[in-house]
Amino acid sequence: MSNKMWGGRFATGPDAIMEEINASIGFDQRLFRQDIAGSIAHATMLAETGILTHEDRDSIVAGLTEVLAEIEGGSFTFSRALEDIHMNVESRLREKIGDAAGRLHTARSRNDQVATDFKLYVRDTIDTLVVQVNTLQLALVTRAEDEAETIMPGFTHLQSAQPVTFGHHLLAYVEMLGRDAGRLLDARKRLNESPLGSAALAGTPYPIDRHMTAEKLGFDRPTANSLDAVSDRDFILETLAAASICAMHLSRFAEEMVIWSSAQFGFVRLSDKFTTGSSIMPQKRNPDAAELVRAKIGRILGALTSLLVVMKGLPLAYSKDMQEDKEVAFDALDALSLSLAAMTGMVGDLVPNRERMRASASAGFSTATDIADWLVREINIPFRDAHHITGQIVALAEQKGCGLEGLTIEDFKFIDQRIDSRIHKVLTVEASVAARQSYGGTAPANVLIQAARWKTELTGQPHEPRPLGKKKHGGHGEGGG
Ligand code: ARG
């Protein structure tokens, strides 16, 4: 049997192994919508420019619409012998409408076709991912408002550093995710040029109108260089880079969930919906969803690495190596989408233990910096000296086995005569966070302002900052439900 697709030049069909390594239909069938949309735009343009008759165009468009319905309805049989989605669709079209189908491929090649299809797919996926990122942001902002006054330890080196508010901590992720959405939209901007009509690599002698197909497919303009158009995969590389950074952020947050939900920390309780039990240890509640989100960065960054390596040695223009772009990219973008959905579910459901967080926040002499700041502010001691004096105060508390709040005024005066009883009011964690009102600082008032700003941005509706001291809900511990 000669080759099904290019029998003219070939005496025999491909080896079975050749068919296996060559076919991409197993994974590129998910491009069917984009492929058919691209073909309809192409056929329409061919008729407008007089390259195709209106009758042929009509039967092509009608036939493609039927093929689309067959694939969507599940009655379409994909064939590996037909290699990929492009040949599968075209071959079915020929079965339906006969010879006119053979005119569809005038002035194009699978090289510009696949670049167009894949770009359209990545563009659609970016749009979905950005909505998902925004949904997660809104879930975090909503929690942050409730936890604007919840005090937790802030860490550096995972050592207690200074008290912060839980709301402030949650809003840190909202900022990261805001940059993630920005990076995805940035990639979308550069992606949005149409390769269609670049043909195999050199352009085409037919009087086609590439601006018309670009516009029909929602592209900003056609690509300006046919060699670049068929050999460029920057759009998926950029998207995977943005996806990797986003996945890294999700992984950091997932790691915190794993730590915080441990019995040793006990800062949050993850809901039954996002945890699993153990088949042997009845007491266990494992944070599996968080752990899996933490792990997904592996395959997402793996896809980016894989594709960069595939691309790095390819001479212009198209090489079949580039077919390896799709499987890993689909997998990575699916993984990011799933991670965003799982994270949004976890954030909505998690129950903070406010008492536990507050108790932990005051451990480890966490308000020591506030003492140093008081010495600077109230008795005009240079910060370096204040730091030294505070060190002696901490050592004394350690020696007495109490916290800074447990020291008497005599204890303070023993270290430095100039200290007076006003020092006591800066020792609490509440005073510590309330004082940090510098722009971007952790003070509850700041958190409420930032939360309102994000709500306004994410919903498109103006939001005023919620007043301080409003009863929070949904947590364990003081002020909680
Ligand atoms: N299945 C191919 C891919 O994904 C389509 C392009 C094939 N082009 C070619 N000249 N063989 O890249």
Contacts of 440 (CB under 8 A, 6+ apart): 446
Q: Is 320 in the pocket of ligand 1 (CB under 6 A)?
A: yes
Counting DSSP H helices and E strands in the chain, the numbers are 18, 6
- Ligand 1 contact, 117 CB (< 6 A): no
Residue pLDDT, tens place only, 11-69: 888 889 999 999 999 999 999 999 999 999 999 999 999 999 999 999 999 999 999 99
For residue 478, pLDDT beyond 70: no
Q: How far apart are CA 410 and CA 154, in angstroms?
A: 30
Known catalytic membership, residue 271: no
Residue 168 is a catalytic residue? no
pLDDT digits 0-9 by tens, 123-150: 999 999 999 999 999 999 999 999 999 9
Selected catalytic residue, list 2, 262, 278, 421? 278
Tell me: pLDDT of 394 over 70.
Answer: yes
Strand segments, DSSP code E, in 121-269 are: 151-156, 159-165, 193-194, 221-222, 268-269
pLDDT at 477: 52
Residue-wise pLDDT for 427-450, tens only, equals 999 999 999 999 999 999 999 999
Query: Residue 108: CB within 6 Å of ligand 1?
Result: no
Residue 10's pLDDT is 84
Ligand 1 in reach of 116 Cβ (< 6 A): no
Confidence of residue 473 (pLDDT cuts 50, 70, 90): low
Mutate to test the pocket of ligand 1, among 85, 121, 323 (most ligand atoms within 8 A of CB): 323
The alpha carbon of 62 and the centre of ligand 1 are apart by a number of angstroms equal to: 25
Instruction: Kindly give the number of the ligand 1 atom that is closest to the alpha carbon of 85.
Output: 1
Is residue 368 reached through a cis peptide bond, with omega within 30 degrees of 0 on the bond before it? no
- Amino acid of residue 405: E
User: What was the pLDDT predicted at 474?
Assistant: 61
Residues 127 and 124: their CA atoms lie apart, in Å, by: 5
Span 206-239, pLDDT tens digits: 999 999 999 999 999 999 999 999 999 999 999 9
Q: Look up the pTM and report it.
A: 0.93
The verdict on the CB of residue 23 being under 6 Å from ligand 1 is no
* pLDDT above 90: percentage of residues in the chain: 89
